[in-house]
Chains A and B, each alone.
Chain A
Amino acid sequence: MSIIYMLLAISVIVALIFFAAFIFSVKKGQYDDTYTPSIRMLFEDEIVKEHTTPTQPKTTKNNHS
């Protein structure tokens, strides 16, 4: 049953990794604007559709993110 020590250690480490990831993302300001990305995400699809029209081959993917 001493395997439980290892299991505990792993579970705590995994939890700590996620916790660190959370702190990191907050610090980077990823939660400062939660609204715009939700809209920006929808544009991407539309622009891809625009690519298929042969008239404007130059408009390649221009959007960052």
Chain B
Amino acid sequence: MENCFHCGDECRNTVISHHGKSFCCHGCKTVFDILNDNNLSYYYDLERAPGMSPIEQEGKFEFLKNEEIVTKLLEFNEQGTQVVSLLIPSIHCSSCIWVLENLNKLNSAIKTAQVNFPKKTVRITFSSKSLTLQNLAILLSRIGYEPYISLDDITENKSHIDRSLIYKLGVAGFAFGNIMFLSFPEYFEVNEFWLEKFKHIFRWLIFAFAVPVAVYSGRDYFISAYKGLRSKILNIDVPIAIGISVLFIRSTIEIVMNWGTGFFDSMVGLVFFLLLGKFFQQKTYAFLSFERDYKSYFPIAVTRLTRNKDKSTLETSKTEEQVQVYKLVKGDRILIRNSELLPVDSILIKGTALIDYSFVTGEAEPVTKKSGDQLFAGGHQQAGSIEVEVLKPIEQSYLTQLWSNEIFSKNKQSVFESLTDNISKRFTISLLSIAIIATTIWLFIDIPIALNVFTAVLIVACPCAIALAAPFTLGNLLRIFGRYKLYIKDSSIIEQLTHIDTVVFDKTGTLTTNTKNTITYEGISLNKEEQSLLTSTLRASNHPLSRSLYDILDKNNIQTLDDFKEDIGQGITGVINNRSIKVGAYGFVDSKQEKTNKQTHKRTAVHISTNNKYKGCYVFYNEYRNGVKTVFDQLKTSKKIVILSGDNDGEKEHLSKLLPKNTTLLFNQKPEDKLNYIKQQQKKGRNVLMIGDGLNDAGALAQSNVGISISENINVFSPACDGILDASKFQDIPKFLSLSQKGTQIIKYAFIFSLFYNLIGLAFALTGNLAPVIAAILMPLSSISIVVFTTIATYLSGKQLHKPTYK
């Protein structure tokens, strides 16, 4: 089997030889020609088979003719120069970067193009006089880099990037270095002549460096501690804030009163390490978005048809125009082309609709609708163009109303108490009591030392190491998960994963694959002639079932049909040499027989009769993902498994074979039903992990404690969730869960470890012997050893993901 020179796919049906290279389709060949003719063949030298086959779709970028939309998309538009940033999901290698940045060789109107690889965007500056945005989009599509433009692009007010943490870290690091350098002399040399002379200037410089750190860099800790105290929670930031302020106040007094250098070095080091931990914890996947709603799934514009009645001739003519979907009102006529998405609830007027709702409702099979039927927003039209009349504007449609549920505006992070907060409650209380007891005892022995001891205890016990344990462990796990294609929104999700006791799966698209179908034949076997008749007939049909059936059949002896008829929603009839075949619904194929078997109704099946004699049917099964059974078997020991499907229960029997006993199986679940089911479970005190894929799961994903969406291609749309899992890693779900459990264990060990350091420090503090140099050594040492410990521990436990579970 040869592989395509352009896209690397196997050349399955046809091999096109061209320039001594083989191509899998004309699309790939065309891209090669375009690149080759424009001296861009270096594209193929950078990487092997880097390309994508272009998908030609008539009228796809028609909406870019609408000035209003174009203006909203452009970043800059003046004096004939336009700048636009386009999301191109297919960017994946260095060849992509190279060819996109050399677009000016393809069209001289393009001035510059700059790729942001992690975000998968390209920013193009072009001259608007000789190139329109529409043509630019078409040009990109033609070479296989189709830009993805959705409703989200024009509604979202571009959120600015928050860089404040980097600034804070920069300030702290800058001050830390300088203060260390200035406090060094006094660590070792006391009462030296020159040092005595200059130490004041050194100390005041240190003070000057320390002020911005305490006020600016450490600000978040004070705010968070204040918020925690107001809601009566002793979070980890409370002892940190106490530590920072005690350090700052005591050191300032020491410098002002000329008693000593103070602990500014420790304070700045503490803030620096804490911020470093925060920074490390923030692993962002620029190319993913966890906040998407229907807007990034819906198109920007549709074709509206306006009838112009010519009064004199009484003839009606139609004009097509591109309108933004937000501007659609009830009664508008719109045109939906093949494979376009229906953005509003509507009534079918003209044409036959075959709508794929799998992403919206979870129904696996496309639905045929006749003129006059109601259509819901979110479906993909799959057979030719249709004309529909709008029933409701976009915000009020059946699908988008799900987003008005309060769960989408709630922040679920706030409810969760993390392990660190839990520990810090006890830690803070014991710390304060130790400090108070020690001070009282010292008050009877030596009054000046008492105050010294009080502050020293608060300084040395500042839980820097405890505060670092969780960020570094979880941050490491986040990266390990990312490497194995589970992309988690933020690190607290990993902690929540450890509490999961119920796992809810969606069926269509989550347990089953989107692409393949398993097809079995039931009935009287067909002879050779009949088989060739069948394939020849199927070849003529565009129905998705016909196409997937055609794909698996032998394609020998394809003959030209004498007659072919397609009854929409019923089936197809083909005739060769007076032999006829009927393929399609049961009632269509065999009109004499009444429906007897209820099962046939619910299963997806294509029935066949030749010369009006019933033969049998091809039954379509959803193909389940690799390792579904293994995943269930591994999960059933510790967790409750639930399946919520929007589909009918035709698959129930098949599915229950895979599932462990006493699994809850619920079918015909609407999006709200799923959400409510999870709510009920949570009321019973269960922690729910929802695994879903489509828009119909969006509510359930938001409601659940942790919502993970499965995606065959992580670059395309997935609903708002806490994590995105690449479908190829489905069988690793139990491993991810057990790894997050190991993560909390590591954090607990790190806590014990850091308490040990605190005890050493306390020994110095309680005896009144805490010198600045000891604090300056002890604090970074404990922080660094915690970082090293957690990093090694997470790395070792992450290794279990290497071993494949399923082959």
Contact = CB atoms under 8 A, between A and B. Distances in A.
B761 to A, nearest CB: 31
Contacts of B170: 19, 22-23, 26
Contact of A39 (B97, B119, B166): B97
Given A26-B166, A32-B161, A1 B112 contact: no
B117 A23 contact: no
Given A43-B98, A62-B105, A35 B117 contact: yes
A36 B98 CA distance: 10
Contacts of B45: 46
Contacts of A56: 39
Contacts of B400: none
Nearest to A4: B198
A29 interface: yes
Contacts of A33: 116-119, 286
B161 A64 contact: no
Interface in B32-58: 39, 42, 45-46
B203 to A, nearest CB: 12
B194 interface: yes
A43 B99 CA distance: 11
Interface string A1-27: 100110010001001000100110011
Contacts of B94: 39, 42-43
Contacts of B177: 15
B201 A40 contact: no
Contacts of A62: 102, 104-105
A53 B177 CA distance: 52
A32 B161 CA distance: 9
Contact of B194 (A1, A12, A39): A1
B150 interface: no
Contacts of A1: 194, 197-198
B98 A12 contact: no
A63 interface: yes
B178 interface: yes
Contacts of A43: 94, 97-98, 101
Interface string B267-311: 000000000000000000010000000000000000000000000
B178 A64 contact: no
Given A15-B174, A33-B117, A63 B101 contact: yes
B118 A36 contact: yes
A8 B205 contact: yes
B749 interface: no
Nearest to B198: A4
Contacts of A63: 101-102
Interface string A26-56: 1101011101100110110011001000001
B533 interface: no
Contacts, number: 68
A33 B287 CA distance: 11
From DSSP, what is the main secondary structure of chain A's interface residues?
Answer: helix
A40 B174 contact: no
A39 to B, nearest CB: 5
Contacts of B117: 33, 35-36, 39
B167 A23 contact: yes
A9 to B, nearest CB: 10
B163 interface: yes
A40 B101 contact: yes
Contacts of A36: 97, 114-118
Contact of B39 (A23, A35, A59): A59
B371 to A, nearest CB: 51
Nearest to B161: A32
B114 A26 contact: no
B707 to A, nearest CB: 28
A26 B162 CA distance: 11
Contacts of B116: 32-33, 36
Interface string B81-102: 0000000000000100110011
Given A36-B97, A46-B42, A59-B39, A27 B163 contact: yes
Given A15-B174, A36-B118, A26 B163 contact: yes
A36 B115 CA distance: 7
A10 to B, nearest CB: 13
A53 to B, nearest CB: 10
Nearest to B178: A15
A31 B205 contact: no
A61 to B, nearest CB: 11
B740 to A, nearest CB: 27
B112 A64 contact: yes
Contacts of B161: 29, 32
Contacts of B198: 1, 4
Nearest to B116: A33
Nearest to A55: B39
Interface string B171-193: 00010011000000000000000
A50 B40 CA distance: 11
A36 to B, nearest CB: 4
A12 B115 contact: no
Contacts of A8: 201, 205
Contacts of A59: 39, 105
B174 A19 contact: yes
Contacts of A5: 201
Nearest to A19: B174
Nearest to A49: B42
A38 B94 CA distance: 10
A4 B46 CA distance: 56
Contact of B167 (A12, A26, A65): A26
B121 to A, nearest CB: 9
A8 B174 CA distance: 16
Contacts of B101: 40, 43, 63-64
A26 to B, nearest CB: 5
Nearest to B194: A1
Interface string B512-526: 000000000000000
A23 B212 CA distance: 15
A24 B102 CA distance: 29
A4 to B, nearest CB: 6
**Nearest 3 Cβ contacts at the A-B interface:** A36-B117, A33-B116, A19-B174
11 contacts: A1-B197, A12-B178, A12-B205, A32-B116, A32-B161, A33-B116, A36-B116, A36-B117, A36-B118, A62-B104, A64-B114
Interface of B: 39, 42, 45-46, 94, 97-98, 101-102, 104-105, 112, 114-119, 161, 163, 166-167, 170, 174, 177-178, 194, 197-198, 201, 205, 286
Interface of A: 1, 4-5, 8, 12, 15, 19, 22-23, 26-27, 29, 31-33, 35-36, 39-40, 42-43, 46-47, 50, 56, 59, 62-65
Given A35-B117, A46-B42, A63-B101, 6 more contacts: A8-B201, A23-B170, A36-B114, A39-B94, A43-B97, A56-B39
